[in-house]
Amino acid sequence: MLRLARLESEKIGKPAQFLEMDVMRTAFPDRCFDGIVATLLFGILREDQQLCALTELARICKPCGSIRLLDYAMSRRLLPRLIMTLVKPWSLYLFDQRFDAKTEPHLADAGLEVLERRDILGDAAKILVLRPSSSSPAFSPGAASATATLHA
């Protein structure tokens, strides 16, 4: 994927830096990003990895910044839920993707608060807009930080 992203960046003439890191232990300094976007990430992380990854995102996000997560969600409607249940074994096999990531129960422990929760694709996916809470260990008013923005 990084190779394809580099090629696309060159093709459209938009220089970008692409880095490969573990989302649970990035090399970024504390409070360095205004915005963080993670798409379909938490559906591939195991349950025991959710809190660690969320805590890391809280650490690298500025206190006034935002974290946007887009992930699948098991639909509450009967037909879509049935289809998702039937597709689930293939999704796990091909992409290691689950439709039932348990991200939200870990938000408070990770020091994050929900600004917005929105269902999309009916309710087969969700968008969470988060920010570090004032009680988060990552929150330190007046702390100096870089002005970069991460888009994943």
- The reply to whether 120 falls in a domain is yes
Contact between 73 and 123 under an 8 Å Cβ cutoff? The reply is yes
Total domains in the fold of the chain: 1
The CATH code of the domain that includes 63 is 3.40.50.150
Task: Tell the residue number behind the tokens 């580099």, with chain if given.
Answer: 6
What parts of the chain have a pLDDT lower than 70?
135-152
Taking the model in full, what pTM does it have? 0.81
Range of the domain at 58: 38-142
Predicted confidence at residue 151, as pLDDT, reads 39
- The reply to whether 129 falls in a domain is yes
Alpha-carbon gap, residue 23 to 39, rounded angstroms: 12
Predicted confidence at residue 70, as pLDDT, reads 96
- The reply to whether 9 falls in a domain is no
Predicted confidence at residue 138, as pLDDT, reads 53
- The reply to whether 133 falls in a domain is yes
CA dihedral 95→97→99→104, nearest 10 degrees, is -160
- The reply to whether 8 falls in a domain is no
